[in-house]
Structure 1
């Protein structure tokens, strides 16, 4: 018997969009195993599988049928995507070229584990990072090295600068997806890319000010201010920009710390000293992984510590997205310290959204969780935290919260 795998929408969709997966042509109550596989641009294989049972009509709809086990269990319509795991241990899921899609191969196999039998049906599902009409423009302006993504239409559009963490290079996947929701988004590189510095030893905000000015002067970017979106070290850079630079309208920090960690932050005559860290606090956990959550030096003086970014000077509202199981550092604790500092100085309390079971790398929806990978600075494999199901749900909700926050603070003022 041949089975048919159907997808809704039937054609390609963007990575941050859900897809409805169904199987028709099965026998009533037939046990089957669904398997998903994907190869990234470096050839690394990611796989997931789950066991199901067809209904009385020989149909299987993942929006109605719970998985009976496998890579996940329960009602998880997108489980075959977010549960993808690398064949190579500790390999992080990334999209490096947003101009090409990821192709997810879906297979229906007869029976359940340990050895599902013959393949009953298959389909290939394309997941893109550029919505139709989104324009991609490489940016080489002064020292700025970046890529600008412009939404479909005439514009001008509300602007956002997107800054990632310590990985170096230029990754565009989050900025490209954000542009599909109506924001002119600049994916900004700041080291180890083209003629930028090979290492990132200190934070000089004048480079990021140059990127901000580029956005403010662009004819397709609507002023008077720009939004900032950052994760990890990128979040701390965004918080520093909001605290020192002009024309910042709203800032989103994903698992940031609001401290100058192990780098000095410079802007004009201002210098924020690093908090510093003690490698002796690193713990070796299962499989030789390192837990670095306690590596930073203790904070004795709380929200008035000299290494804390002076976010009481920040322009516009701040949204802190926090994973409670972040093992890079204690993001929730740092967000609370930031809130205390703002309150101490009589400023608006930031919005803190905290997700139980979510780890450090909170990515756009349906990205497979990265529980551990190589740390670029330590050159060791470290754990990032997170429980796959909770982390996945957090990514979906956080994306909605980020879009809503930017719509509210970047788009709505122009309609008043």
Structure 2
């Protein structure tokens, strides 16, 4: 069995070819690992292939006859892994939050008639060995900065997670972006260290300080792009519209409006509702939810169902919706939007269409790229990782993988073009 390359970044494709088989024989190829993105687990996939007349199987070009995926895709065994027994303990202390081991071993096994013919290991790196992680734990900023040693100053990114809070998710993106040569700050904004425990009226001024800090860091060339997913995507659009220092915005599964942040039941009945964000100590107006919608969302989450229908209903029923819209036309640079048609958290495709319409109405002078994936769910990330966790997120494993693979390459191209344009201006 040939695996090329044997060692690769997690977002890089690998080529798998098996030779020396009986022509036209049926063989099973299995992939297993005990770690996904730094989390201990049991993950497994398998597929049955028919060797060609030369006794060879090329996973890039051959479709399996059965198994955990059903298309010709050299990375199919990686993204179709079913994950079990995942061990995840929320960590709220920066010094205790690790991202590792830096390398994950995926073992591939070829079987014929119940007999193991060969095995081989594929090493997948979560980030480049030259990437350094620096913990930033200050009163006015908490995050992890990833920089690749020896790089010239480059465009910097601030990576923002979603409604889960903390840093566990954004640091996976920041580490990978740094591996591609861009200093990246995974920035926490609630449910971590001394920050607020809930998504309630987070001051936008907190992010302004982080933008200023990264712009003046020696690893950064002065360009700062904000990249957020889900709730973080809503936030990136707000930051870009408020702070001209933001050179561009990448918003994956965004909202076109300021959405509700948190709710709590009152002892006397009903709900108290909170804005997600504040400016100058005042909460930003947000699309209102009735007590009925709050109760429906709670029931849905409790029963493992999506809440996209709640967000959609609130959006369509709101009076004076203009009051809650994010003024995206004030963003001082290009925008990359990513959405999915089977998003179970909120209607991201609808929101992106609203964003584009507003930009057009205001004669937005910069480019806006919109990538929409009708059959994908909420979790569009980078390629090379399992996309089989559909509960609450939507989509199908294949559609989610295709969206992740294409959009990640578009993100890297978008950033590279910005970096090049910034260098020309300098």
Q: Same fold (TM over 0.5)?
A: yes
Structure 2: how far apart are the matches of 1:276 and 1:353? 28
Residue 405 of structure 1 aligns with which residue?
414
Whole-angstrom CA distance in 2 between matches of 1:62 and 1:284: 44
CA distance in 2, matches of 1:102, 1:332: 34
On the 8 A contact 1:259/1:309 being kept in 2, the answer is yes
| Structure 1, 136-145 or 207-216: larger mean CA deviation | 136-145
The verdict on how the C-alpha distance between 1:128 and 1:276 changes in structure 2, with shifts beyond 3 A counting, is farther
1:227 corresponds in structure 2 to 225
Residue aligning to 1:32: 27
Structure 2 residue ranges without an equivalent (≥5): 89-96, 262-274
Unaligned 5+ segments in structure 1 are: 112-116, 374-382
Residue number in structure 2 paired with 1:146: 143
Task: Please say if residues 235 and 255 of structure 1, whose CA atoms lie closer than 8 Å, have aligned partners that are also in contact.
Answer: yes
1:188-244 CA distance string (max 9 Å, x none): 111222222222222311111111111012111101x31111100011111111111
Q: Which residue of 2 aligns with 1:367?
A: 385
Provide closer, same or farther for how the CA distance between residues 283 and 198 of structure 1 changes in structure 2, counting only shifts above 3 A.
closer
Give the structure 1 partner of residue 191 of structure 2: 192
Contact preservation (8 Å) 1:132, 1:152? no
Determine if the alignment matches structure 1 residue 268 to structure 2 residue 280: yes
Aligned twin of 1:353: 371
Counterpart mapping for 1:90-105 below 5 A: 97-105=99-107
Aligned twin of 1:379: none
Deviation of 1:159 after TM superposition, in Å, equals 0.6
Query: Is the alpha carbon distance of 1:28 and 1:283 closer, same or farther for their aligned partners in structure 2, counting shifts above 3 Å?
Result: farther
Deviation at 1:310, TM superposition (A): 1.9
Indicate the RMSD between aligned Cα atoms, in angstroms: 2.6
Tell me which residue corresponds to 1:206: 205
Q: Is the 8 A contact 1:359 1:387 kept in 2?
A: yes
What is the aligned counterpart of 1:65 among 59, 62, 67? 62
Secondary structure, in 3 states, of the residue corresponding to 2:177? helix
User: What is the correspondence of 1:212-291 to structure 2 with a 5 Å cutoff?
Assistant: 212-223=211-222, 225-263=223-261, 264=275, 265-268=277-280, 271-277=283-289, 278-279=293-294, 281=296, 289-291=304-306
Q: 2:350 aligns with which of 330, 333, 346?
A: 333
Q: How many residues align?
A: 393
More divergent stretch after superposition (152-161 vs 232-241): 152-161
Contact 1:52 1:67 in 2 (8 A): yes
Structure 1 equivalent of residue 265 of structure 2: none
**The residue matched to 1:291 in structure 2 has which SS?**
coil
Higher helix share: 2
Secondary structure, aligned partner of 1:398: helix
Offset, 1:371: 4.1
